[in-house]
Chains A and B, each alone.
Chain A
């Protein structure tokens, strides 16, 4: 008997629809593993065993009745605890909402429920999604399954650790400045940060509204495309979502990269750790061997990304977190953790009378220049490849007392959010036993192309087959 917790979503779906396994057996196997590993990893804040088993039984009835199954039927999924789930505690990993039970589902959760997904529980993360390590959770840090002394990345720390360790088959996450891509990279996973407005954020706790996107973490590119097929689309409850029709991301996913022009932005490689650089160089050679045309490009305002991002983000946070006053629901403002307080202070200052032009307005202008860099680059190339993180997964505690150093960990991811464009990260190898990921970045609404490039590289290298020993 195969260990089903090692399966991809694609293979598990096939086994389910061909009746080689029951949805309940699949769910039970993942639940057992989730419960067994949670003490070690602290990847879940809430495990919803009863709800999961009931849903799995429902899927089995659909199969017995020979009903047509929706794309994610029976797939055991973890949901970042930032997504409102009706009747299931949703904490934002903060003591402010430690007992909050929402009366409604976020749009993405209701879409995956309509697709008959099995929700196994709510995953841990940096409180309010503020962080790049998972250590800012008010419910304790999550551990990296590849090395328990190291962080799994953040803010979607629990989602990454859970998928990498086989606690769930895929997970929902968010990405405001790298919160899907960096943990996916630290845990040998595929992560999508879609175009701003491609997936509805309704019912997901807002961090920085002009940057927030919903992400998905999976073992393979195919699995990821399958989830985006379900979640993407316009939503009248989120006015920032695009009315553009959604493409079928699975169709032609194996089209390959022949003739595709791919750029390497030199600003992302100057001063990069030589070991990480050699991983990305090797990946670009692989893509070249597969028929892509590689060239050097320049994104001249890259170096201003972090400063721009860390002005815009706290400003929007100070506004979004103002609603948590403990009057209508949740605990009072004394319950905010240190990083949330720090960001509220910084943002309140940046938006306060006399400083708006110097900080927020200035940052929104530099943001235009950063977006223009990408728009200009895409006149000459179809996509860009780049590293995800300047470092390997770091030790727990290493950066937690130095906010600026922690902020600089986002150096290769934030510009994509500032530009609003999509980026896919795929596993690209290992250094000293620790995973390294690569970003494939494209113009607005180019997710289909990114999956094609990611898939071609993945099928050649198959890094996703490596698993942590846990």
Chain B
């Protein structure tokens, strides 16, 4: 099994240099080889783990609680505009 590094990097929104692709490729091939060890374990009738200590359906009342102000929530944001986070344009002008 080999990982198509450039395809996976695109899925993960990571830009890798050719040197990184080569290095990670070699290192991760070795790791994937190691994973084949799990094929020795029969798991046809085993239930996968969900929550490890068995909690399920944790709910709370839908009541408003004090929270961060807009100013605090934006305090670590570099580019803001009128109290909003400013992002790069996704659509070109002329798109509808």
| Residue ranges of A at the interface with B (Cβ–Cβ < 8 Å) | 100-104, 195-197, 210, 236, 239-240, 242, 301, 303-304, 306-308, 310-311, 318, 322, 325, 327-330, 333-334, 336, 338, 341-342, 344-346, 348-349, 352, 359, 361-369, 371, 403-404, 407, 419-420, 444
Contacts and interface: CB of A to CB of B under 8 A. Distances in A.
B49 A210 contact: yes
Of B8, B48, B53, B75, which is in contact with the most chain A CB atoms at under 10 Å from its CB? B53
Contacts, number: 132
Interface string B65-80: 0001000110111100
Contact of B14 (A195, A336, A365): A336
Contact of A366 (B27, B30, B38): B38
B8 A404 contact: no
A240 B77 contact: no
Contact of B48 (A103, A348, A364, A403): A364
Interface of B: 3, 5, 8-9, 11-16, 20, 24, 27-28, 30-31, 34-35, 37-38, 40-41, 43, 46-49, 51-53, 55, 58, 60, 68, 72-73, 75-78, 85, 87
The main secondary structure of chain B at its interface with chain A is loop
A314 B22 CA distance: 19
B30 A404 contact: yes
Contacts of B38: 304, 307-308, 311, 362-363, 366
A425 to B, nearest CB: 20
Of B30, B34, B52, which is in contact with the most chain A CB atoms at under 10 Å from its CB? B52
A349 B46 contact: no
B53 A103 contact: no
Nearest to B30: A404
Contacts of A196: 52-53
A290 to B, nearest CB: 30
A171 to B, nearest CB: 25
A41 to B, nearest CB: 29
Contacts of B68: 103-104
A329 B31 contact: no
> What 5 pairs between A and B have smallest CB-CB spacing?
A420-B52, A364-B48, A329-B76, A365-B43, A348-B12
Given A369-B41, A404-B30, A101 B76 contact: yes
Contacts of A363: 38
A325 B13 contact: yes
Of A196, A303, A341, A345, which is in contact with the most chain B CB atoms at under 10 Å from its CB? A345
Given A304-B40, A365-B49, A368-B48, 7 more contacts: A103-B75, A307-B37, A310-B31, A342-B27, A344-B14, A368-B49, A420-B53
Contacts of A100: 76
